[in-house]
Structure 1
Amino acid sequence: MKYLEPSYFFDFENNFIQELISEFTEQSLTDKEKTIGLYTKVRDDWKYDPYSISLAKENYRASSIAQKATGNCVEKSILLIAGLRALGIPARLHLGKVKNHIAVDRLTEKFGSNELTPHGMVNVLLNDKWLKMSPAFNKSLCGKLDVEPLEFDGENNSFLQAYNSAGTRFMEYTDDYGHFEDVPLEFMIKNIKEHYPHIFDTTENITEFKL
C-alpha cells in the first residue's frame, strides 16, 4: 500500500525515527495500542510552535523534525506519519485551514490573521477505517489555554478542539484541502505565500522565518 512506503519526507528507516518508535515495536501490542502510544508521544514530547515557518525542503523530513524540541502542526503530523508507517500502519497527511478564537493576539500580530494555513493533521487506517487525529497541541499548552488535550482512542476521529473548558469557541476548520500520499511542499509554499504575503514583502530569498 502506498500509505506504508517511505519517501524523502517520511524517511522512517532513519535511526531517529527508529528510535522514536522503539518502545512500540513489541509484537504483543495491537496496531490500535501502537497508534495511541505514538500519537500521545508526538503530541506531548514536541512542543507546538506555529511561529517558525520554513520553505526549505530538508526541514520537512521526519528525521530532521525528530531532532528538534518543537514543531508546528504540519511538522508534528509528518513525524507521526513516518512513525506509523515504520510500524506498518498506513497513514497520510491531511491539510486544511483553521481559525483560532482564543489566545489569538500574537497570531494576528504575526500573521495578520487568526487563521492558520496550511494546518496539518493525520489520517490513520485502523480496522479498515480511516480516522483523523491531530497531534499539534501538547498537553502542557492545552493546560495554559484551558482546553482539554485531544485524546485519540483508536476508534473515533480526534482532530478538533471546538471549545475550551468554559464552553468558549476555541477553533474551527474553515477549509479542507484533502489528504496527500506525500508532503505537497509546492502546494504548501504557494498556500503560505498567498495567505501571508506581508511576510515575504522584504524577505523573498529567505527560506526560514521566526515570527
Structure 2
Amino acid sequence: MKSNKPYLQNSYYFDFESDIIQDLIAEYNADSLSSKEKAIGIYTKIRDGWKYDPYSISLSKVNFRASSIASKNSGNCVEKSILLIACLRAINIPARLHLGKVKNHLAVEKLVEKFGSNELTPHGMVNVFINNEWLKMSPAFNATLCEKFNVAPLDFDGENSSYLQQFTSDGNRFMEYTDDYGYFKDVPLTFMENKLKEHYPHIFDTANDVTEFKL
C-alpha cells in the first residue's frame, strides 16, 4: 500500500502550522477523541462555520492558503475543502483535494446569469483516510443554505462517503457530478485556472488581468 505521508504534509496552501489553523483545531487535539470523532467534528465545523459562496473567483495563490481562507467567513467549494484538508492534516489525519465538475438543477438562474451555465468547475471536495479507507466528503454547503433549498445537509459519519446531494427533501433533482478530475496532494492552481478559463471565457474576457473578482 502506498504511503499516506504526502497527504499529511504542511505546504504553502495547506499551511496548518499557522496560528490561525492551530487555534481552529485546538479542541480536536484531545487524545480522548478517536480519528473518526475528530474528522466528524472538524468537518461539521468547516461546513457550517463558513458560508458557501460560489461567486467569488480568485487566481491569486495567497487566497488559496488555508490560513487566508480561515480568516474569512465564507468560501467556495474549493476554498472550504482546502481549509478542511489543512485542519485534518493538522490533527494527523491524511487528506487530499478531489476536483470535478457538477451541474446544479435548483436556483440556477443566478448561476446561468453569472457563469453562462449551470455547471460549476472546478468543484472541490475532500478525500479523507480513516480506518484504512479513503472516504469522500464535501463541506461546501452550510446547513442554513441547505435549509433554504429544502435539501438535507451532508453529514459525515466517519464510515461512509458523503459528497453528493442528488435530490431535495421532496424529490426534486438538486445536483449531479458530470466530470471527475481525480485527486491532488496539493492545490493545482494552474490546472484550476485553465478549467475556469476554458468553461467561463466570457468572465475572463472582461476581467483583463484582475486576479480576483466578485461576480
TM-score range, shorter chain: over 0.9
Amino acid at match of 1:178: G
Residue 42 (1) aligns with residue 46 (2):
yes
Give the structure 2 partner of residue 134 of structure 1. 138
| Number of residue pairs aligned between Structure 1 and Structure 2 | 211
Supply the distance in 1 between the matched residues of 2:167 and 2:25 (Cα, whole angstroms). Answer: 32
Q: What amino acid maps onto 2:98 in structure 1?
A: H
Q: For residue 89 of structure 1, what is the aligned residue in structure 2? A: 93
Distance 1:53 1:111 in 2: 11
Q: TM-score, normalised by structure 2?
A: 0.98
Name the structure 2 match of 1:144: 148
Q: One-letter code of the match for 2:93?
A: I
For structure 1, the residue ranges without an aligned partner over 5 or more in a row are none
Query: How many angstroms apart in 2 are the aligned matches of 1:47 and 1:140?
Result: 9
Moved more, 52-61 or 200-209: 200-209
Query: Which one-letter code corresponds to 2:82 in the other structure?
Result: I
Residue 190 of structure 1 aligns to a residue in which SS? helix
Pairing 1:1-211 to 2, within 5 Å after superposition:
1-211=5-215
Structure 1 residue 202 displacement after superposition? 2.3
Letter of the structure 2 residue corresponding to residue 76 of structure 1: K
1:202 partner SS:
helix
- Tell me which moved more, 196-205 or 97-106: 196-205
Instruction: List alignment gaps of at least 5 residues for structure 2.
Output: none
What do residues 133-160 of structure 1 show as CA deviations (whole Å, max 9, x unaligned)? 0000000000000000000000000000
Once residues 10 and 164 of structure 2 are traced to their aligned partners in structure 1, the CA distance between those partners, rounded to angstroms, is 28
Instruction: State the Cα deviation string for residues 154-201 of structure 1 (Å, max 9, x = none).
Output: 000000000000100000000000000000000000000000000011
Aligned residue type for 1:12: F
CA–CA distance in structure 1, aligned partners of residues 207 and 190 of structure 2:
18
Q: CA RMSD in A?
A: 0.4
SS at match of 2:129: strand
Counterparts of 2:28 and 2:111, CA distance in 1? 36
Question: 4+ runs of 1 displaced by more than 3 Å?
Answer: none
User: TM-score, normalization: structure 1?
Assistant: 0.99
